[in-house]
Structure 1
Amino acid sequence: MGIINEEFDILLQDNIFTNTLNLISRSSTDDDICSIDNRILDRFCIDILPKIHHNVKYLILEPTSMERILLVSNYPNLTSLKLFNFEEHIALNYFTDKSIFQHIFKYQITELILENNDNYDYEEGIISSKEYNKNVYIPILTLFKNLQSLSIVGSSMLSYPPLSILNLPLNIFCSLNLTKLCIYVNSLDDCLYLLDGHLKQLTTFIVQIKNIHNNLSIIHNTDDLFNLECFSLTCYNLTNAYDNRVIPLFRRMKNLKKLTLYIRLANRSTFVDGTHLHKEILMHMSQLHTFTFYISSIIPYNDSFQLLVDNDIQQTFTNIGYYQTSCTVNYYRASKAICHVFSLPFTFDRLEMITNRFPTIIFHHVTYLQVFDKVQFKYKFFIRIAKAFPLLKYFTISSGLLSLIDFNKYEDDYIQSYPIIQFPHLISLNMMVENPYYIEQFLLNTKTHLPRLTELKLSYSHLKNVTKNFTRDATRHNCANIKQLIFCDECDYLTHFLHYFPVLDTVSYIKTIR
C-alpha cells in the first residue's frame, strides 16, 4: 500500500486529475487483485474525494462503485458523467425523481455517456424493446433536464434494445438544450422523428439504425436541417430503401460539415460509385469538408450486364477528386455481384460479405468480420485475414460449399510447412457451414492459435468428427477457454464432451445455419 499511497499523493497535486476522475474498478476472479481494488476505492472515498470534490467536473464510473463514490459529496461542479457497463437496473434504481442523486442528475449533468452492457432479447422482440423504452429511455429524458450531450453506445457486438419512438409518449424526446446526440434507434422513422423539430439546437447527430425499411409509418417534417453540422448514420442490416429514404434525408442537410456513412445496400440496379455519391450527395453539401464512408451494394446481373472491375469503380472516385478511397468488386454467385467502396483510412469496426478478393490494406479498427465466397477459402486466405485484421474479435465464415478435399486425410500434418496462424484477440468464431474443413483449420493447434476464444458456433456433428469424438489432443488446446457453445443440430452430451471444455458455461441451439 505504500506505493499506492505515494501515487495518490502525487495525483492530488495534479489539477487535471482533480477535474476528471476515472474510477473504474477492475473486475477479477483473483482475490488479491480485488482486495487491492477495494483498498484503492476506500482511499479515494475516505481520504481523497472529500478533499477535491469541489474541483471534480467529470466522473467516469462503473455500477459497482457508482453509489459509494457519488455519496461522498454533492460535487457542486460536476457536469459530465460516464458510466461503463450500464444496465437497465441502473436506470430503474437511480434515474428517477426519488433517486438519492436527483440533485446531481436533474440539474447539474450536461453531458451523459452510457456504455451499454444490456443484451437485446431477440426471442421477446418488440416486447423487450417496449419495456426498455419505459425503463431506460423515458427516465433518462425525464430526469436529466439540462443535458446538452447524450451518448448511449454498446460495449460489444450484442446490441442493446434500440430506442423506438413509436413506443414512447408524444413529445417525450424534446429538448431546447441538446446539441449532441449519439443513440441507437429501431428504424429510420425513429431517426426522422428526432429530426422533426423536437431537437432544435442539435448540431451533432450520431445514429445507428437497426433497420431501414421502404414503408413509411408516419408523415415526417421535411424542412431543411440548417443547424446540423455533423451527421453519422450506421446501419448493419441490408436495406433497399437507400435511394427512396436516405438520400432525401441527406438533401435536407444544407450546412453539413462532416458526414459519416456506413450502409449495406441490396437490390439496386447499379453499384454505388464516386459518380453517384457526387451527384446525389456531395454536390448538395457545399460546406462539407469531411466524408467518411463504407458502402456495399449488391446487384443482380445476367449475360447482358457489362462486367465492371475494381479499376472501373476506382476511376469514378478519381474523377471527382476523391483519391483516398478503395474498392473491390466480386461476382460471388451466378447472378449476384457485390461492390465495396470506402474511404481511407478505414475507420469502422465491422465488415461483412468479404470474399477471397479484398484490398491489400490493414484494417486497424475492424473487430467483426464476415467472409463469404463461392469458392473454398484456403489456408493462405486465413493467413491474409490474420495480417489484415490484427484486432479481430468476432469472425464469421459463411459458405454453403461442401468439402473439396478428402476430409479424412486432412490431418494435422497436412500443412506442416505453413506457419501457425495467430488470432490473438479472437473471442467468437462462427463456423455454421456445411464444410468441416474450416473447423479442422481453426481448432487444430498446429494450424491456428486462438488463446482468447470463448464462444464457438458450429455444427455439433462436425465438432464431434473433427475432435474425434472429443478425444483428440491436437484440438483440445483451442477449446480450453470456450465458455459458450452454440449448435445448429442436436448433441448427445456424452461425459467426455463436457470434460473436453473445462470452463464451459452454456450450450444452446439456433434453428438455422447462417
Structure 2
Amino acid sequence: MNQHNVHLLDLPNEILFFILKKLDNIHVLYSLLGINNQRLHIIAQEQIFTNILNFVSISQSTDEIFSTILNRFCTSILPIIHKNVKSLIVDSISMECILRASNYPNLTELKLFNFNKAIVSQYFMDDSLFGHIFKQQITNLILIINENNIEIEKEAYTKNVYVVILAFFKNLKHLTIVESSSMDNYPRLSLCDLSPTTFFSSTLTKLCINVKNFDDVQALLDGRLKQLITLIVQVDSIHDRILTSYKWNDLPNLKCFSLTCYRSFQGFDNVIVRLLHRMIYLEELTLYLHIFGGSKFIAGTHLDNEILIHMPQLHTFIFYIASENVIADPTIRVSNDDIQRTFTNIEHRQVACMVDYFKPDTMICRIFSLPFKFHRLEHITNNIPNIIFNSVTYLKLWDTDPFKYKFFVRLARAFPFLKNLSIRNIVRPFLFDQNNHLRDKDWLSIIEYPHLISLDMERAHSYYVEDFLNETKAYLPHLTELKVLYYSLQIVTKYFTRNETRRNCARVRQLIVENPIAYPKDVYCYFPSLSV
C-alpha cells in the first residue's frame, strides 16, 4: 500500500471503528448510512453507533441544518436502525417527530431536555400517543426542567407532575429530575402533608431530585421507596429541627447518599447527623453544606466521631462543609494547619481547608475532600489555596479586603473552567497596588477566562469592571451575560465610546442593570449582540 495514497476505505475495520468512535453517533449515521457504500452502510449500523442517539448534540446548529438532519433521520435512518436504539437524548420540541419515525422495541432510557408540565398531559398518560412505549419500556428517565411558569405552587406541581410521572412509568428503576443551568426557581418536589402513597414506587432504585426542604428528604426515606439504593438530593432549605414526623427505620438497601444545600442553615447535629445515623449500610456519602451559627466549626474529629464511625461499610466520602461562626475570643486564631491535624483517619486524609476571618467577629472554616468534585463555590475570599478546581464552573467572590491583580492571575489558574462568576467587593486596591503588577513577571499577559459566559459585578467597585472589560487586561471570548451598575458601565466604557472595552462586550446578549431602562442607541451599537 502506497503510504501517500491511502483512502478511508483502505483501512481495516478495526481502525475505522477506532476513528468513528471519536465522533458523535448522530454524525456517523448521518454521514455513512445510505451513501451507496455497502461496507460503510453495515459498519454504521453496528450497536456501538446505534444504541445511544443524542439529538441534542446537533441542536446547536442553525435551524435549517438541524431541520435537515432531523428530517433525514426520521424518514430514512431511524426506520433502519430502530431495533438497536436503547437510549434517546432529545429535546421536547423534536421528541414527537423522532418517536413517530418508528417503533423502538428495545428503548429503555429517555433523556428529555426542556421538560415542562405540558409534557406530562401530552405524553405521560395511558391514552397518549406514545404511552405504550413509555409506560412499560422505560427504566431510566432523565428530565431536564425548563419550566416557564415559576409561579406554580410547589404542592400542585408535585401532585400534577412528580407524582404522575412516578405512577405512570411502571418499570422505572432510575429517575433523575434536575433543572437546566438557566433555571433557579422552578417548583421543587414538596411532600409536606401528602400521603406516603402519593410518591411511591416498588421498583425505583435510584433517585436524583431537588426538593423544597429537609422534611422532604425525610419523607423520601420513610419507606415509600422500598428498593432505593441511591438517593441524590439537593435541598432548597434546611431548618434546625424536623417539622414533620416520619418513620425512622434503618435503611438497609441505601448504599449511596448525596445531600447538597447551598443555603446556610443551623442544626447540623440535630438534623443532618441524626439522619446519617440511620444509614449504617452506606458505602458512598457526598455532602455539600454551609452551616451557620453554633459553638464550634466542623472538622475532621467531629466527622469521625459523629458520622464515619457509624458507617463501617463506607468506602467513599466526598464532602465540602463550610462552618460560619461568631468568634467568642478574637485573640484565638485557628489556622489551616490546625484544621488539617484534626483529620487523623488515614482513609480520609486527602483533604484541604480554608479559614477566613471577617471583622469584627466572624469566621468561616471550609473543609473539603480532594480532588474537589463540586461545581459551585460561594463566599470565596483572597484566601485561595494552591489547588486547581477543575470541576468548579460557578463561583462567588466576596471580601472586605480588595482583590488585587495577582489574585485574578491566581483565580484564572485555579478555576480554569469557570462559566459563572460573581464579584462582591466595593473596595478598590490602593494606587500602589494597582500599579504594582507592572513589576510582576506576568504583567504582560492578559488574563484569560476562556469559558466564562456570565459575569455579575453589580456589587463591585468600578475598578473591577475595568479589570474585566478592558481587553488589555482580560479576554472574555464567550461572555454573553453581564450584570453591572449602569453608572459603572458608563464610566468604564466612557459612555460607550471606548475601544479597549468594546471587544469583551461584543458577544453580550443579556445586559442586566439595577433598574430596567430603555437603552439608548449608543448601548446597542456598543453591544451589537444585545437582545432588543
TM-score (norm 2): 0.87
**Partner of 1:456: helix, strand, or coil?**
strand
Question: Distance between the aligned counterparts of 1:37 and 1:223, measured in 2?
Answer: 52
Residue 206 (1) aligns with residue 232 (2): yes
Specify the alignment match of 1:360 in structure 2.
Answer: 386
Q: Structure 1 residues 471 and 303 mapped into 2: Cα distance closer, same or farther (>3 Å)? A: same
**Partner of 1:337: helix, strand, or coil?**
strand
Offset at residue 499 of structure 1 (A): 2.2
2:93 pairs with 60, 64, 89, which one?
64
Residue 153 (1) aligns with residue 178 (2): yes
Specify the alignment match of 1:252 in structure 2.
Answer: 278
Residue 19 (1) aligns with residue 64 (2): no
Question: Distance between the aligned counterparts of 2:55 and 2:515, measured in 1?
Answer: 45
Percent identical among aligned pairs is 50
Q: Structure 1 residues 489 and 333 mapped into 2: Cα distance closer, same or farther (>3 Å)? A: farther
Question: Distance between the aligned counterparts of 2:195 and 2:240, measured in 1?
Answer: 24
Do the aligned partners of 2:496 and 2:526 also contact (CA within 8 Å) in 1? yes
Q: Structure 1 residues 28 and 250 mapped into 2: Cα distance closer, same or farther (>3 Å)? A: closer
Q: Structure 1 residues 385 and 404 mapped into 2: Cα distance closer, same or farther (>3 Å)? A: closer
Do the aligned partners of 1:350 and 1:367 also contact (CA within 8 Å) in 2? yes
Question: Distance between the aligned counterparts of 1:492 and 1:66, measured in 2?
Answer: 38
Specify the alignment match of 1:512 in structure 2.
Answer: none
Offset at residue 320 of structure 1 (A): 5.2
**Partner of 1:207: helix, strand, or coil?**
strand
TM-score (norm 1): 0.90
Output one character per residue of 1:167-222: Cα deviation in whole Å (capped at 9) or x when no partner: 75652111111111011111111111111110011011110111111243311111
Unaligned residue ranges in structure 2 (runs of 5+): 1-29
2:108 pairs with 79, 100, 104, which one?
79
Specify the alignment match of 1:117 in structure 2.
Answer: 146
Q: Structure 1 residues 490 and 76 mapped into 2: Cα distance closer, same or farther (>3 Å)? A: closer
Output one character per residue of 1:108-138: Cα deviation in whole Å (capped at 9) or x when no partner: 11111112233673xx3xx443453344313
Question: Distance between the aligned counterparts of 1:193 and 1:341, measured in 2?
Answer: 29
Offset at residue 380 of structure 1 (A): 1.0
Do the aligned partners of 1:119 and 1:158 also contact (CA within 8 Å) in 2? no
Q: How many residues align structurally?
A: 496
1:141 pairs with 151, 166, 179, which one?
166
**Partner of 2:71: helix, strand, or coil?**
helix
Do the aligned partners of 1:120 and 1:158 also contact (CA within 8 Å) in 2? no
Offset at residue 402 of structure 1 (A): 3.6
The aligned runs of 1:197-346 (5 Å cut-off) are 197-303=223-329, 306-318=332-344, 321-346=347-372
Question: Distance between the aligned counterparts of 1:120 and 1:344, measured in 2?
Answer: 39
Question: Distance between the aligned counterparts of 1:222 and 1:168, measured in 2?
Answer: 17
Question: Distance between the aligned counterparts of 1:277 and 1:414, measured in 2?
Answer: 45
Structure 2 residue identity aligned to 1:49: L
Q: Structure 1 residues 217 and 80 mapped into 2: Cα distance closer, same or farther (>3 Å)? A: same
Do the aligned partners of 1:133 and 1:167 also contact (CA within 8 Å) in 2? no
Specify the alignment match of 1:94 in structure 2.
Answer: 123
Output one character per residue of 1:213-250: Cα deviation in whole Å (capped at 9) or x when no partner: 12433111111111100001111111113221111000
Do the aligned partners of 1:120 and 1:161 also contact (CA within 8 Å) in 2? no
Do the aligned partners of 2:162 and 2:199 also contact (CA within 8 Å) in 1? no
**Partner of 2:379: helix, strand, or coil?**
strand
Specify the alignment match of 1:510 in structure 2.
Answer: none
**Partner of 2:339: helix, strand, or coil?**
helix
Specify the alignment match of 1:480 in structure 2.
Answer: 506
Do the aligned partners of 1:92 and 1:135 also contact (CA within 8 Å) in 2? no
**Partner of 2:232: helix, strand, or coil?**
strand
Question: Distance between the aligned counterparts of 2:34 and 2:409, measured in 1?
Answer: 47
Q: Structure 1 residues 225 and 157 mapped into 2: Cα distance closer, same or farther (>3 Å)? A: farther
Greater shift, 87-96 or 226-235, is seen at: 87-96
Specify the alignment match of 1:427 in structure 2.
Answer: 453
Question: Distance between the aligned counterparts of 1:305 and 1:270, measured in 2?
Answer: 16
Offset at residue 496 of structure 1 (A): 1.3
Do the aligned partners of 1:364 and 1:390 also contact (CA within 8 Å) in 2? yes
Greater shift, 494-503 or 462-471, is seen at: 494-503
Specify the alignment match of 2:66 in structure 1.
Answer: 37
Structure 1 residue identity aligned to 2:106: N
Offset at residue 48 of structure 1 (A): 2.7
Structure 2 residue identity aligned to 1:117: N
2:418 pairs with 392, 399, 406, which one?
392
**Partner of 2:248: helix, strand, or coil?**
coil
Output one character per residue of 1:452-496: Cα deviation in whole Å (capped at 9) or x when no partner: 111111211111111111111111111111111222246573331
**Partner of 2:266: helix, strand, or coil?**
coil
Do the aligned partners of 1:238 and 1:266 also contact (CA within 8 Å) in 2? yes
Do the aligned partners of 1:297 and 1:339 also contact (CA within 8 Å) in 2? yes
**Partner of 2:68: helix, strand, or coil?**
helix
Do the aligned partners of 2:404 and 2:429 also contact (CA within 8 Å) in 1? no
Greater shift, 313-322 or 294-303, is seen at: 313-322
**Partner of 1:55: helix, strand, or coil?**
coil
Q: Structure 1 residues 99 and 413 mapped into 2: Cα distance closer, same or farther (>3 Å)? A: farther
Specify the alignment match of 1:509 in structure 2.
Answer: none
**Partner of 2:397: helix, strand, or coil?**
strand
Do the aligned partners of 1:440 and 1:466 also contact (CA within 8 Å) in 2? yes
The aligned runs of 1:360-509 (5 Å cut-off) are 360-399=386-425, 401-405=426-430, 417-489=443-515, 493-505=519-531
Output one character per residue of 1:284-313: Cα deviation in whole Å (capped at 9) or x when no partner: 001100001111111111435631100000
Do the aligned partners of 1:460 and 1:490 also contact (CA within 8 Å) in 2? no
Offset at residue 28 of structure 1 (A): 4.5
Question: Distance between the aligned counterparts of 2:202 and 2:88, measured in 1?
Answer: 25
Do the aligned partners of 1:134 and 1:168 also contact (CA within 8 Å) in 2? no
Question: Distance between the aligned counterparts of 2:99 and 2:485, measured in 1?
Answer: 49
Offset at residue 139 of structure 1 (A): 2.7
Offset at residue 19 of structure 1 (A): 2.8
Structure 2 residue identity aligned to 1:453: L
Taking only aligned residues, the RMSD between alpha carbons, in angstroms, comes to 2.6
Structure 2 residue identity aligned to 1:248: R
